[in-house]
Amino acid sequence: MTRPVAPATIAAKADHYVDAQSGAIVPPLNTSTTFARDTGNQPMNAGHVYARDNNPSFVQAERVLARLENGEQALLFASGMAAIAAVFYTLESGARVVLPQSMYWGVFSWTRQYCARASIAISYYAPDDAVSLRAAIQAEERTDFVWVETPSNPMMHITDIRLAAELAHAAGALLIVDNTVPTPLLTRPLELGADIVMHSATKSLNGHSDVIAGALVSRDSHPHWQRIVTERHDAGAVISPFDASMLLRGMRTVVLRVERACQNAARIARFLHQHERVEGVLYPGLESHPGHDIARQQMCGGYGSLMSFLVKGDRAETLAVIGRLQLLVRATSLGGVETLIEHRHSIEPPETGVPENLLRLAVGIEEVDDLIHDLDQALRPTA
Ligand SMILES: *Cc1c(COP(=O)(O)O)cnc(C)c1O
């Protein structure tokens, strides 16, 4: 095919999948853990020996994701955290990484513990501050990785990916971007200079809150990527065949889901922004957001389905607000078809500085007026 096709077409057709033998347009669920050898003792299908090191069931999902990110190769993992761990396991002791001081709590917490054990130094930067990013990268002679998560979770800071790539490369480091929140439909970090993109495919890529999965996508096969490929092959944090087929099915509708969730989120952000019971809204789509200009440059087609807002009142009043919700579900996670809301201060330790009156909202694809009505009745104090 000569004319490049759009992400919606790649996703809907699972990258033109047609089974060569049966003509099926959905890949068969292949649950075999082992693969036969021929009479000369060679694998019947090159590369297929044992399902922990290579598995035909996730190849197609990896192909779709690599094309959506405009990358060379994608690797699926058993979870987003397993994908992150595979990246860090390839570092030697004495390495140094540059991480945002405010980010998805699971990544912050795991990297802090792991790097301490493995004698890997961490320098932190303020994710909304280019001066701080530059200073952290240039603080020491050696830099191995620079990590970016934008918009960040749950404070919704915006980091300039293009600038981070320039600074990382000037220091001889790789830039790795957690692209879970925007998805490749809104931001393609590899096109902005990143070397590796990471996803919790548990979130918008699968989109139905029924699969735990992670992914890495590379721009090209640099030596570090080869170490990651070996790491998954040998340590074996692979996705199960069933989860891979669920993910491939989920990704067929990712374009529609992300479009609708972004539209809903934009409406809800404007509604909350003018609400008398709301102190502030953290959403990069609002012109009042300090990262709006950078977000407009590096996000296309929407500002995502995730936001946080601050209730006028204390912790007790904030918990009372979510207690009054009838349609929105009080649960962690994001990127699903159903809207979820979470009081992050109850989850993260106080040191992360998440305000007690902050609620994180992961907007789904429901009728937006229903969501707005529920939020409005919950925000109004009861007499
Ligand atoms: C959920 C999430 C992760 C972790 O992924 P799991 O699939 O839960 O292991 C990492 N980063 C971000 C931004 C996430 O939202």
Question: pLDDT by residue (tens digit) across 180-219?
Answer: 999 999 999 999 999 999 999 999 999 999 999 999 999 9
Mean pLDDT of 162-191: 98
Nearest CA to ligand 1 atom 4: 80
Q: Which two tokens stand for residue 108?
A: 């912050």
Write the pLDDT tens digit of every residue in 109-122.
999 999 999 999 99
Write the pLDDT tens digit of every residue in 315-374.
999 999 999 999 999 999 999 999 999 999 999 998 899 999 999 999 999 999 999 999
Helix (H) or strand (E) holding 282: strand 278-282
pTM across the whole model? 0.97
Closest CA to 258 of 266, 246, 248: 266
105: Cβ below 6 Å to ligand 1? no
Q: Which two tokens stand for residue 294?
A: 């950078």
Distance CA 52, CA 57 (A): 11
204: Cβ below 6 Å to ligand 1? no
CA of 277 from ligand 1 middle (Å) equals 31
Closest CA to 177 of 166, 156, 193, 154: 193
**Is it the case that residue 253 has pLDDT exceeding 80?**
yes
Task: Specify the ligand 1 atom closest to the Cα of 84.
Answer: 10
**Is it the case that residue 383 has pLDDT exceeding 80?**
no
The strand pair at 358-362 and 306-311 is best described as antiparallel
Q: Out of 88, 108, 148, 180, give the residue to mutate to test ligand 1, the one with the largest number of ligand atoms within 8 Å of its CB.
A: 180
Distance CA 185, CA 69 (A): 8
79: Cβ below 6 Å to ligand 1? yes
Write the pLDDT tens digit of every residue in 80-129.
999 999 999 999 999 999 999 999 999 999 999 999 999 999 999 999 99
DSSP state of 326: S
64 within 8 A of 91, measured Cβ to Cβ:
no
336: Cβ below 6 Å to ligand 1? no
At residue 309, the pLDDT reads 98
CA of 200 from ligand 1 middle (Å) equals 4
With a pLDDT cut of 90, the percent of the chain lying above it is 93
**Is it the case that residue 153 has pLDDT exceeding 60?**
yes
Write the pLDDT tens digit of every residue in 19-77.
998 999 999 899 999 999 999 999 998 888 999 887 888 899 999 999 999 999 999 99
206: Cβ below 6 Å to ligand 1? no
Cβ burial of 97 (10 Å; 0-12, 13-18, 19+) is: buried
Nearest CA to ligand 1 atom 5: 80
Closest CA to 269 of 298, 310, 297: 310
